[in-house]
Amino acid sequence: MFPNLIFVVVAALVPLVMGFLYYHPKVFGNAWMKTCGLTKEKLERANMLVVFGVTFILSLLMSMFLFSLVVHQTDIYSTLINEPGFGEEGSAVMNEINNFMTSYGDRFRTFKHGALHGGLVGGFIGLPILVINGLFERKGFKYGLINAGYWIITLAIMGGILCQWG
């Protein structure tokens, strides 16, 4: 099962849009700058073309991987990939896959379900990583929570898009 690449790209745009909203000074931007010791002047010195370009490329990688976590039907392919005849139309294994997908291919393919799993990825993988990094970088618990909150919301939206339309 391959994702719809249009929606992989759409989902990859979510971190940029969410970053604009979430880190706006009237939302969490000022608190974030304070916890990581940044100023507006320091932020304005960055090459934003590079920042946004690299962010988008990394978001594409994340989007591709997140698809496999939120769309459960991808598991059948990973389970059967080493079976003889895999990928050959009309083979026994491909007939089994096609029958399975006909019966169950649309199960749990909703925005809500994808958002749940995306949010879980953010909460159970992103939050611990970011809080641990923040603590070791001496930026504190609040720094980790602000960034983890962003990723939990962002991954939930990405997961919803990928599960519903990907």
The predicted-structure confidence for 88-121, as pLDDT tens digits, reads as follows: 999 999 999 999 999 999 999 999 999 999 999 9
In a 3-state reduction of DSSP, which class is residue 54? Answer: helix
158: Cβ–Cβ under 8 A, 6 or more apart, which residues? 11, 12, 14, 15, 62, 63, 66, 118
Q: What's the confidence (pLDDT) of residue 154?
A: 98
**What pLDDT, on a 0 to 100 scale, did the predictor assign at position 1?**
75
- 162, 1 contact by CB (below 8 A): no
What proportion of the chain, given as a percentage, has pLDDT over 70?
A: 100
Per-residue pLDDT, 2: 86
Domain locations in the chain as residue ranges: 5-72+109-165, 81-107
Q: Alpha-carbon distance 157 to 162, whole Å?
A: 9
Q: What whole-number distance in Å separates Cα of residue 61 and Cα of residue 57?
A: 7
DSSP state of 139: -
DSSP characters over 57-108: HHHHHHHHHHHHHH-TTHHHHHHHTTSTTTTSTTSHHHHHHHHHHHHHTTTT
Taking the model in full, what pTM does it have?
A: 0.93
Query: Could you tell me which of 84, 69, 53 has the C-alpha nearest to residue 124?
Result: 69
What is the spatial distance between Cα 131 and Cα 50, in angstroms, rounded to a whole number?
26
Could you report the per-residue pLDDT of 127-151, keeping only the tens digit for each?
999 999 999 999 989 999 999 999 9
Q: What mean pLDDT value characterizes the chain?
A: 96
Query: Are 70 and 118 spatial neighbours (Cβ–Cβ below 8 Å)?
Result: yes
Q: What pLDDT band is residue 42 in, cutting at 50, 70 and 90?
A: very high
Is the separation of the CB atoms in 130 and 144 below 8 Å? yes
